Amino acid sequence: MFRRKSAWTLATLLLIITFSFQPAIGHHYDAREIYHHAWALVKENYYDTSFNGTDWPEYEHKYDDQIQNTDDAFRAIKKMLESLKDPYTRFLDPRAFQDENDAIDAHIVGIGINLQQSRDQTHLIITRTIENSPAEKAGLSPGDELIAIDNACAIGITPEQAAEHIRGQAGTSVKLAVKHAGNQAIVQITRQDIDIRAVQVKMFDSGIGYIQLSTFISSDAAKEFRRALARLAGAKGIIIDLRDNPGGLLANALEMADMLLDGGTIVSTIGRHGKHTDISSGQPLTKQPIVVLVDEESASASEILASAIKDNGRGIVLGTRTYGKGLVQEINRLPGGAALHITVSRYLTPNGSDINKVGIEPDILIENKTDQVKVAYTYLKEKIAYSKPLTKKQLLSTVTNNKTVLSVGHNLIK
């Protein structure tokens, strides 16, 4: 859906969908009830019983005399959540919540970009442009920095704030200032209806399959992944590309991992009510050799899938260290159409590692993105041909001397 959202700006996510609030028929909530409902949800569900050192009972009635209407309640909730100093426990106003629902439904009205804050939270970086979207057609590309939106400075704002400024109806336009390859440019982009596809699939001439998974947020992502595996049933090996994938729904990560593993733990989550471990059914859809590509923007659900494959010895992880987001959020609907993301648990990889703020170290560290695809391709070719895979040094040497030309982004395979 994303009916009124003009940019795909989902932050790093690992979400459980519960939509826990269901209003009683005919019941009217006043503004202070909305605030108190949010306070109680955090009190009962936040994963850290110390609330990150915050005196949570102090906030129950802290803003009562300041709340006269719904907008007051929303502002008070934001202040309350900020006290936790947890960037993932956050308030979504009704429009942002609708946008999130639309993303899950895999349809937006927008320009088709994914934005993330730089690690120092000072800049907005485009991490993906949707194929054939207005943004891609306008020349925007991953790595571009968003400088301004309709002449308003975008430096230091969040992806959600940027989306608020970019929003508009299909057929209307927005003017963006971006820094592209070191040069600043102004582009005028017309918003349009966009269907989000989470998965792209290709088959190389050599019989190596390639699946690019760009998000876990769509409710269709696992179905798309299943169809991709079916299309690559005849492949000799598979590259799964999770680079620039900020995460999404926990359920999608669990289902996709189960399609690949022949047994073992997928992930363990630890929350207020104890520890829960998800185990693979041991009935994989494919047994081909796998290489997973990751980078510093591969986060949350991406890290769950990558670590499940790595720790269970199902395949290797190649690229650079991942983002390091080891916390799980639950979506909670509030009266008035808003919602909360509440961190309800942390998770451990199958080997028991807590990767939060640490990330996953790849089996083979390759920093150059073009070389990452080439090395993955060569690794699979050699693994198929020989029982003993090449060492990293041998792989790099083979890539340097190999005449095979790979250009995944341009569908060129020779």
Same domain flag for 165 and 238: no
What pLDDT shows up at residue 185? 92
Domain that holds residue 383: 199-326+353-413
Same domain flag for 253 and 378: yes
d(CA 7, CA 129): 10
Domain count, the chain: 2
Please, are residues 260 and 284 in contact by the beta-carbon 8 Å criterion?
yes
Q: What is the pLDDT of residues 11-52, one digit of tens each?
A: 566 878 765 544 444 456 789 999 999 999 999 999 999 999
Q: How confident is the model at residue 107 (pLDDT cuts 50, 70, 90)?
A: confident
Quick check: is 343 in a domain? Answer: no
Q: Which of 6, 218, 298, 300 is catalytic?
A: 300
Cα 159 off chain centre by: 13
Quick check: is 58 in a domain? Answer: no
Same domain flag for 190 and 207: no
Known catalytic membership, residue 311: yes
SS3 256: helix
Where residue 165 sits, what CATH number does that domain have? Answer: 2.30.42.10
Residue 370 half-sphere exposure, CB side, CA atoms within 13 Å? Answer: 7
What pLDDT shows up at residue 16? 80
Q: How confident is the model at residue 262 (pLDDT cuts 50, 70, 90)?
A: very high
pLDDT, mean over the chain: 87
Q: What is the pLDDT of residues 373-386, one digit of tens each?
A: 999 999 999 888 87
Same domain flag for 165 and 178: yes
Domain termination residue (choose one: 163, 178, 195): 195
Same domain flag for 177 and 204: no
Where residue 313 sits, what CATH number does that domain have? Answer: 3.90.226.10
Same domain flag for 249 and 381: yes
d(CA 122, CA 15): 25
Q: What is the pLDDT of residues 307-338, one digit of tens each?
A: 999 999 999 999 999 999 999 999 999 988 99
Q: What is the pLDDT of residues 340-374, one digit of tens each?
A: 999 999 999 999 999 999 999 999 999 999 899 99
Report the greatest alpha carbon distance in the chain.
73
| Count of Cβ atoms closer than 10 Å to residue 200 Cβ | 16
Please, are residues 149 and 155 in contact by the beta-carbon 8 Å criterion?
no
Q: Is the pLDDT of residue 406 over 50?
A: no
Quick check: is 163 in a domain? Answer: yes
Known catalytic membership, residue 325: yes
CA nearest to 7, candidates 119, 118, 128, 123: 128
Mean pLDDT of 261-288: 96
Quick check: is 256 in a domain? Answer: yes
Domain termination residue (choose one: 195, 214, 236): 195
d(CA 376, CA 382): 10
What pLDDT shows up at residue 161? 83
Quick check: is 389 in a domain? Answer: yes
| Count of Cβ atoms closer than 10 Å to residue 346 Cβ | 17
Q: Which of 5, 310, 325, 381 is catalytic?
A: 325
Domain termination residue (choose one: 128, 160, 195): 195
What pLDDT shows up at residue 106? 75
Quick check: is 380 in a domain? Answer: yes
CA nearest to 58, candidates 39, 37, 38, 30: 39
Q: Is the pLDDT of residue 65 over 50?
A: yes
Q: Which of 298, 307, 311, 383 is catalytic?
A: 311
Please, are residues 256 and 228 in contact by the beta-carbon 8 Å criterion?
no
Torsion angles phi and psi, residue 404, rounded to 5: -65, 135
Same domain flag for 170 and 242: no
Mean pLDDT of 139-146: 92
